[in-house]
């Protein structure tokens, strides 16, 4: 079954478009048209999940002809731009055709929600680390667009145009107002209040316009509020948990003066990713703090254990020193005692020798005086019987085993 022209007939699901796309359900409707869920009939061997796709149908009931022509221009441009791009963070275009006077664009299906829907569902701002992760991915895709040949300016970067799939990957959708940067004849003034920079209001967008929109998107994710048109306040004023580093990045990206912003998505990405330690300076992360406390506790307990071991070793060493000193003192006392005993022994030996010598010389003197010399005789014969003693010095030591035998 095919959609009829006009807007009185409601199609019955399922129906097939362009002999390939089986439309199964309506996903939503906006000012430019309607979005449907569909299946690719050319992939019968794949699961429904892998065959799923999205069909965008441009509405045809505009009040003014020029509005219809402008909408068709955007629709065709989106198809052309998407067909020329190939990036994992950009939704892929699968088909573009006209049937029964209506225009259709078939794109890959992204399972997930856009960032605006996610924040509304969450009811509170996102964590800084999560915003940084998404912002880096967006910088990558913007760098791809801006360095494409020819360069492509997205011009409509905002939370509702950024899908997050089930793998937490960014997907940019809705390239209706994206255009090649070299298309200088296009002065289309299409803006999203709060996300479009000043220059876009008079049709002078360039790659730095997307940088501005990214800063505004990050502001929304961190504060939960849309930024004011043309003037973006510091996110820290609404969310004090935002680090100084990230706050300064957002403020620079959203400068009204185009030359005061980051001059490329790559430059902004470098600032977001280096140095990483600055990103969490504004608030301590609970897990990091807990881990740090555990480590410090371990170090403290380990330190106490080491101190106890050192104290025990010092006490043992002190005890050994005391015992060694006592042993030295005992040995010194023994040495002095032995020296004293040797000195006493030496004195005793000398006394014995002197007594023996005196006794021997005394007896000889008495013997000579009693007999008297014989006149006319030669040297007395008694002198031959005197004992012979060696010539001892005072310092000599002698062994006297029988001092009485000297008499």
pLDDT tens digits, one per residue of 49-68: 778 999 999 887 777 888 88
Please provide the average confidence, as pLDDT, over all residues in the chain. 81
State the catalytic residues. 156
The tens digit of pLDDT for each residue in 184-242 reads 445 556 788 899 999 998 888 899 999 999 999 999 999 999 998 778 889 999 999 99
Cα(246)–Cα(216) distance, rounded to whole angstroms?
13
pLDDT band at 291 (very low <50, low <70, confident <90, very high): low
Please compute the mean of the pLDDT values over residues 355-372 and round it to a whole number.
65
Sign, Cα dihedral of 238, 240, 242, 243: positive
Please compute the mean of the pLDDT values over residues 81-108 and round it to a whole number.
91
Please compute the mean of the pLDDT values over residues 316-327 and round it to a whole number.
80
User: Highest-confidence range of 38-52, 149-163, 207-221, 283-297, by mean pLDDT?
Assistant: 207-221
Q: What is the pLDDT of residue 256?
A: 94
Given a cut of 50, whether residue 142 has pLDDT beyond it is yes
Position with higher pLDDT, 353 vs 391? 353
Q: What percent of the chain has pLDDT over 90?
A: 42
Q: Count H helices, E strands: the chain?
A: 8, 11
The tens digit of pLDDT for each residue in 239-262 reads 999 999 999 999 999 999 999 999
Q: Among candidates 161, 138, 157, which has minimal Cα distance to 88? A: 138
Q: Among candidates 168, 133, 140, 126, which has minimal Cα distance to 276? A: 133
Which residues, in sequence order, are CB contacts of 72 under 8 Å at separation 6+? Answer: 58, 103
Q: What is the pLDDT of residue 287?
A: 58
DSSP letter (8 states) at residue 11: P
pLDDT band at 146 (very low <50, low <70, confident <90, very high): very high
Query: What's this model's pTM, rounded to 2 decimal places?
Result: 0.63
Given a cut of 90, whether residue 373 has pLDDT beyond it is no
């Amino acid at each position: 079954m095919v959609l009829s022209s006009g807007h009185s007939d409601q199609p019955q699901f399922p129906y097939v478009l362009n002999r390939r796309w089986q439309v199964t359900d309506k996903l939503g409707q906006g000012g430019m048209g309607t979005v449907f869920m569909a299946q690719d009939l050319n992939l019968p061997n794949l699961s429904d999940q892998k065959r799923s796709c999205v069909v965008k149908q441009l509405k045809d009931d505009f009040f003014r002809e020029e509005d219809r022509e402008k909408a068709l221009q955007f629709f065709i441009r989106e198809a052309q731009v998407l067909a020329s791009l190939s990036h994992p963070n950009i939704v892929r275009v699968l088909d573009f055709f006209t049937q029964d006077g209506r225009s259709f664009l078939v794109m890959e299906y992204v399972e997930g929600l856009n960032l605006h829907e996610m924040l509304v569902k969450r009811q509170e701002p996102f964590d800084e680390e999560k915003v940084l992760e998404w912002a880096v991915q967006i910088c990558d895709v913007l760098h791809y667009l801006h360095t494409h040949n020819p360069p492509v300016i997205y011009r409509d970067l905002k939370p509702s145009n950024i899908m997050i799939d089930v793998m937490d990957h960014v997907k940019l959708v809705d390239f209706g107002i994206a255009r090649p940067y070299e298309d200088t004849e296009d002065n289309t003034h299409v803006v999203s209040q709060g996300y479009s920079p000043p220059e876009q209001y008079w049709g002078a967008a360039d790659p730095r316009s997307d940088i501005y929109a990214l800063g505004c998107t990050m502001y929304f994710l961190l504060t939960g509020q849309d930024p004011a048109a043309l003037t973006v306040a510091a996110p820290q004023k609404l969310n004090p948990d935002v680090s100084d580093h990230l706050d300064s990045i957002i403020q620079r990206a959203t400068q009204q003066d185009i030359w005061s912003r980051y001059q490329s998505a790559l430059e902004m990405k470098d600032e977001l990713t280096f140095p990483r330690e600055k990103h969490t300076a504004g608030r301590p992360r609970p897990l990091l703090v807990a881990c740090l406390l555990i480590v410090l506790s371990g170090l403290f307990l380990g330190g106490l254990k080491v101190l106890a071991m050192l104290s025990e070793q010092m006490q043992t060493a002190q005890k050994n020193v005391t015992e060694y000193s006592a042993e030295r003192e005992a040995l010194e006392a023994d040495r002095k005692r032995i020296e004293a005993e040797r000195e006493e022994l030496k004195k005793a030996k000398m006394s014995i020798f002197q007594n023996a010598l005196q006794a021997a010389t005394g007896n000889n003197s008495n013997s000579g005086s009693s007999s008297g010399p014989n006149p006319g005789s030669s040297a007395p014969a008694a002198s031959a019987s005197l004992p012979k003693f060696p010539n001892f010095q005072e310092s000599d030591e002698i062994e006297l085993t029988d001092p009485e035998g000297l008499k």
